Structure 1
Amino acid sequence: MSLQFLRNADGTVTGRNDANGFTVTHTDEEEVTRQLYEDAGWEYTPPPPPVPPGHHRFLLVHEEDDEDCGFGDERYAGLRERPPEGCVPTDHGLFALRCERPGKTLLDAVARTVAEIRRDHGVVMNGLRADGRPGEWTDSGCGDGDAAAALAHLVLTAAHRSRRLGYGRKELARLLDATGVE
């Protein structure tokens, strides 16, 4: 079964269930999604309300390639008992924190949260997922949203993998500086 969504030039959204040909067009994308899920027999969960201005919603994860680091692992005991304010421990097959935290940008909120966890619990969170729509590079240039989440995830993953390969901060900073990014 395949569900397809198309944004129309007139501002409406059309959704289609290819399995049975059910098609719906509406001005509200969430209504289209709800009707398609209902038609497909899937449970529909509406999106959460928007975060307050200056806050960002994201999911930080900790994963190790060669270790069993499931949610119940003892190294996360302190984080499960005393997570950072605005974060809730959650089991995603590995340890994760669902967070809604303040920050000027998503990267700022993530950086502050990662630093707090490292300082207070000795765990370096090395992956990130953010709420939003698929299509990570669709931002309008404002520096937040799906593209910023993808960037934060890539930076956290690069830091984790570089450490495992024996590279340190200086090598990462030198590589970043070599790109000419200001």
Structure 2
Amino acid sequence: MRQFHVLLTRSDNGWTVRAPDAGQATIPDPSLADFQARQLIQHGHNLDLDTVDELDILLVNETGQPVYVFDLVFTSDLTDDGAGPANTLAYEALEADPPAGCQFDRLGPYPALRCVRPGSSRLDAISTLAAEVRYRYGIEASDLGFEKLWEWAGSREWRERMIAHLLLMAAHRARLTGVSTEELTHFLRTSMAEQPSPENSGGDQT
């Protein structure tokens, strides 16, 4: 898969997306960065739509460090009437001093963080932020804003965000249920393991 490193930086009017040998554009919201990068690359490199859809777009900051754009939504802490968060003081603290790279916002009735965060991978960036929010503010995040989790389409960026959403939900519900981290990681390692070769699978093969 062909990969492009695309620079994403703050600008006076929003965010600037700069694609290699394809120019740059300003966008109002970093969530549009992946889409804008593909448009720039399509026109700058004269690619067809199918080829552009299959590109691996890696957003980077000024130092070349990968950054990931996502919304972290807090859906599990509403009052009984659904009017707002039950832990008001914690969310006030989150709004007043959000984590680095994040801006406090609201998606419908839900408090949210809109973030551009570094990480060794998208899953690393999201899980690290979720842990920081839990330790620093005492708030549980279990949502990335997907409404139709059964739909599986779009760019790698979109699919990775959906995987992270499902993992956040699993981690949150595991804590509520008393399922340990070790049990979760064992489940993932076991379920994702490659089929063992006959010589390593045990038993008599003769």
Fold-level similarity (TM above 0.5): yes
Q: What is the CA deviation profile of residues 29-68 of structure 1, one whole-angstrom value per residue up to 9, with x for unaligned ones?
A: xxxxxxxxxxxxxxxx986552751111110011227745
- Report if aligned partners of 1:129, 1:149 keep a CA contact under 8 Å in 2: no
Matched, 1:160 2:172: yes
Displacement over 3 Å in runs of 4+: 45-49, 65-69, 135-139
Gap change, CA 1:163 and 1:78, over 3 Å in 2 = same
- Using the alignment, how far apart are the partners of 2:74 and 2:167 within structure 1? 14
Q: What is the CA deviation profile of residues 147-175 of structure 1, one whole-angstrom value per residue up to 9, with x for unaligned ones?
A: 10000000000111122223221221222
The alignment's C-alpha RMSD in Å is 2.9
Q: Structure 2: where are the runs of 5+ without partners?
A: 1-26, 35-58, 61-65, 195-206
Aligned match of 1:7: none
Aligned match of 1:145: 157
Aligned match of 1:86: 101
Q: What's the TM-score, normalizing by structure 2? A: 0.54
- Using the alignment, how far apart are the partners of 1:66 and 1:181 within structure 2? 38
Matched, 1:50 2:33: yes
Identity over aligned pairs, percent = 33
Aligned match of 1:97: 113
Q: Please, which of 69, 74, 92 is the counterpart of residue 77 of structure 1?
A: 92
- Using the alignment, how far apart are the partners of 2:138 and 2:77 within structure 1? 18
Match of 1:50, SS state, is helix
Gap change, CA 1:175 and 1:83, over 3 Å in 2 = same
- Using the alignment, how far apart are the partners of 1:166 and 1:104 within structure 2? 29
Gap change, CA 1:125 and 1:149, over 3 Å in 2 = same
- Using the alignment, how far apart are the partners of 1:153 and 1:96 within structure 2? 14
- Report if aligned partners of 1:86, 1:100 keep a CA contact under 8 Å in 2: yes
Gap change, CA 1:66 and 1:89, over 3 Å in 2 = closer
Q: CA deviation at 1:117?
A: 1.5
Q: What's the TM-score, normalizing by structure 1? A: 0.60
Q: Structure 1: where are the runs of 5+ without partners?
A: 1-44
Tell me which amino acid in the other structure corresponds to 2:184.
L
Match of 1:145, SS state, is helix
Gap change, CA 1:136 and 1:84, over 3 Å in 2 = farther
Aligned match of 1:121: 137
Aligned match of 1:172: 184
